[in-house]
Structure 1
Amino acid sequence: MRKSTPRVRQGLMGGASRVQALVEGRRVCYIEAGRSQSGSEVRAMGGYGVPADEVQRLQVLESLAVCDLVSVPELDRITRLAARHFRVPMAMVNLLDATVQWTKSVQGAVPGTLPREHSFCGHTILHEQPLVIHDAREDARFVGHPLVVRPPGLVFYAGCPIRSLGGHPLGALCLIDHVPRDFGPLDALDLQDFAALVEQYFRGLEADRRASLSVAQFERTFAQASVGMALISSDWRWLRVNEQLAHWLGRPADSLAGEFLESVLFTPDKGRVMRDLQDLLSPDRSDPSQELLFLRPDGGLAWFLVGISRLVAHQEGDAAFVLVATDITARKASEQALAVLQLELEHRVELRTQELSEANARLSSEVAQRQAAQGALELEKELFRATLAHATDAFIEVDPAGRVTAWNEAATATFGWRRDEAIGRDVFDLVVSQGLVARYRAAFARLRDEGLDRATGGRLEVQTQHRDGRLFPAEVSLGVNRFRGQVRMHAFLHDISARKSVERELLESRTRLRLLADNMPALIAYVDGNRVYQFNNQAYEDWFGVPVAQIVGRTVDQVMEAARLTARDEPLQRVQAGEMVSFESKLNTRRGEIRVHTNFIPDTAMSRPPYGFYILAQDVTEQYQLQQRLQHEASHDALTGLPNRRAFLQRLVEALARVRRQGAGLALMFLDLDGFKQYNDTYGHDFGDAVLRHFARTVQAAVRETDSVSRLAGDEFTIILEGLAHPAEHATLVARKLLAELAVPVVLGGHELTLAASIGVAVTGGDSGAVALSAELLLSRADAAMYQAKAAGKAQYALS
């Protein structure tokens, strides 16, 4: 984790007490209505609003140590995508400490700081939802604000708060333009999605910090726990035992180390017990613990309730499991006593049951006499149960004239009319809007005249009305009751407003998902367990020219062949087995060959093996090319383009390894440009740079393509000559050739000059008789030979 800058430490030092002092040490007044959109109290502090959780959010910022201007590539990608998506000149991620706004990432400007009282994002963190200012020049809060009045002027602003794992606002992702802009609800949703990506980054930092505390917490728990704890190896040996468990077992903790766990069990079938312990690790087991009996050295027995947990990653030695034990010896003794009492109680119950059965026989005759009277009552109950079988829905019964004869509580809740108000009234006046009463009444009359039985069965969707005039859709099920010559039609009605609303939301959600997926700069698709595409976004057509509709229903193999995707079957087999797979490959598209990073994500929650999976493929060509360029710059001299000292040493080590394997000779030449300091002092450093570039070109042109020329530092250069049968003889020829080439006059910067160099040569392998030397020793000999040549005068060479 990065350390805080001095300014950050000054703003956040002292932990909670220091942060509290910063909050309470300023002028405090209430702004606006005194509350944010979430309803939490907001205080004004030094001219800017402060959220009620200011102390907690500053503590999070201090723990993360991110309040600086260090660029974060992950955030830069998000702000770059946001600026491009919303077509604004500026997009940035800002963090706000006690007094300063820090720009962590910005597109369209340079990172910097801003006093918090001038920060627009200081207003954003007071809200749950995005803060949108269409024209700051017309907003009373920002009239005369320096960022608004100073050209080119901040006119449009949209910001979304960034929150920690605990929900505390750390800063905001914001968009800025110099002209007024419209910003609708869908734009706000997109901004929240981008802000969620920023939150993932900072919440990841929080999670990493919390994870680092887990080992220390485990050690404290292990040493101080009131329960017994132990670390167990994969072959069920004791590795570590805490003092509580050792005390219960009656043995020193270190004496158990290395012994098998079953050695202290008291059971005739230890193999079965060990299998039961292994079953505790099964995720399907409902009870994750087991009662075991252990034998103490003194012959005493101890009952423990034991739980076993598998370690995700071995944290100590080769520990595979954590064992947690609770002493239940006293409880088991109580259970045995209760078992004895249970046997005695069962005996008494058996005697009492016999007495009751005799009394029951006497009552049987009385029951027979009452059955006749119960018959009539049961008929009434049956009618009641038949009428109210679906009491959770509104139940309405009407006579052939349409007057209400039954009305349950659910009907009151649904339509607002009490039972006493509804009974006897025309049902259509109670549940149908005034404009539809005549239509519904005529339909009822036709059913009545043609036979009510025709209306039974099936479900209808109708428009109904609440007592307060509110209209809502309902699902109706009709039926007919006949009892003692009377005919009644009943209806069960269920308010389906919520279901209709969910159906609309699902349709809107699918539309938004398609819009988001089609506008993402990546291939997105879902493939089922048979490797058939079920969904894909617009990027398939943009990259391969294949219409979106032609992808769905085709297999992955067909699409791969059509798109010339260089992927094998092995990643597909892995993802369909439930493994998340990531890989990079080259892909031929309409834009040419690109490098793609692909993720296969198994859909283990919604399918069975072979699993369906999601495909997310992103174009990382630009990132790959940047990485290659950075690697080249890290190993090459910026002035001459030659390999630098780091690359030279790597090449020398590799060349010496080939000498040892193949036996061919090698010569190392160390070159120092004579009189270079005089050129710098006389004509300046730019002229000196031109001399070095000319010297590098001359040296490189004088050797073979297989030879390696490098610049170590300043005016020092090296040449590695490989594959030489006679290394000393070949190096002498090259040295003479170099000195002759350098002696040719040349005009640089309007000055004619003749260059010279002192050359030291060290050889190994071939006919040199020297065994393969180390890189350090060979370089040291060449350097010493160079100084020997320089002592002999300019334009000389010496062989070590």
Structure 2
Amino acid sequence: MPPFSPEHRHFSTAFAHSLVGMALVGLRGHWLDVNPALCHILGYTRAQLLGGTFQDLTHPEDLATDLGLMARTLAGEIESYHLEKRYRHADGRLVWAMLTVTLARDGDGRPECFVSQVIDLSAQKAAQEERDSFFYQSSSMLAIADTEGRFLQLNPAWTEVLGWTTQELLARPYIDWVHPDDVARTLAAGETLRAGGVIAGFRNRYRHADGGWRWLEWGSHTVRDGRLYCTVRDVTRQVEDEEALRSQEEKIRLLIDGAHDAFIGMSEDGVITEWNKQAELTFGWAASEAIGRPMDELIAPPRLRQLHLDGMRAFLARSTAPGYSKRTEVPALRRDGREILVEFAVGMVPHRGRRYFYAFLRDVSEQRRYAERMHYQATHDFLTGLPNRYEFMGQLARAVDKAARHAHALALLFIDLDGFKAVNDQCGHEAGDAVLTEFGARLGQAVRRSDLVARLAGDEFVVMLEESPNMDREAREVAQRILAAAAQPYPLPETCPAIGASIGIALYGAGDSADALLSRADTAMYAAKRAGKNRLSIATESGDVQSAVDGQHLSGDPGAGI
């Protein structure tokens, strides 16, 4: 039975109690069932939703895309899809959401309904709008550029300072606006950014629409998507001022650089000298409490403080050139004792004969947890906790490639439970779930620690074995242990049918693809079923299937009868 069947009792329990909005949607878009989380997201009662369709609540600009993906899923072109879209809330506002849709099929493989998961993105979108509002309303010149030499986004301050329209500035590479005497330095700064460095206090001249030149001062860094984030000031008047003012301005530039991150300034011996508002929010310490204290004692977890001090000493020894910087991810300690993961970039500039350190820190804890959670859910079966088909096929493809390149042995066991459908039909899906869960656990105990176990779908499982000196014998022995494990009693009522397993084995042969290997193992498994079930059979490289061995001969030589 398909793992996401709406009739699945385990699914029904998860459906009702999930914190994620979930719905069963008819093939024409009618709500068949909705969980409380979805009602909360959209602001409608269950009865209100069940009286309509998802089309009724979808923003018109998003509807065509959603319907197109739904049609492709029904046509079998894709198995599922993800879409950021807008729903109309009961109070009239728009709700941004991440929609994930999977097609559920009945026991005969016919489309039955769609299983939809809806994650509310409204808070994230609101935060993005706030950031955009700050970007466009800031009196500072703010820019986002790519590493190929073009601006991607500019705020209105650029037009106020340089006289060019935004369209004119975006239409040409930014080096075209730079004074000829500053081109070489500007290109060198770009190389630093492309290498992952941070530029602070860099100055060059840009052409004004009136034919003159304006001195601009840049604070830029590269984020992981390859874009450059720049805070720019018109410092024409300051450049013309006395040299005595410039030293103070260098420090000011550092303080405004990367204002969207927590910013910490430090003396050469690691004592905090600057602590911005974002640092207060990130770590819980007010600036008045943080300034003057050693950075390692304030935010480094106790177990990492010596490592931090050693790292600072090594950084001091290497960072002799102005602008030297280093970026990494490290655990950090908040005032309330909670550890967070921060993206941490530290750099150095000389200031009045001493070295001045600056650090940009961004809390990436939730981002990391979310990514790990989403990856696990995407690659593992929700019932057994085993890798799913998507994850298994990826690992199988890599193993086949490795076997081809290094002539390593590889075997695949395709397992189908005998009697499982009867258990489902006679004892209910809850009993079937118990069998799948128990058998998944037994599989893990029957194989080697190095073997990969996965659930493909329904009652189909696979085991991949690698790097054995006698893979033919090893595969049979593992298969026989699995047959024995499958035949053991399950925590079911006595009236439930007995459970066993049929196993097909395919050994990797030169030229095999992952799909070909899986197909041969599948063929061998069906041969074992036709031979009487509760047995194993082996598919040769040519596709022939050798005679099966049943589970009653497990105490003898594993090669007997094959």
TM-score (ref. length: structure 2): 0.48
Higher-Rg member (1/2): 1
Higher relative contact order (CA 8 A, sep 6+): 2
TM-score (ref. length: structure 1): 0.35
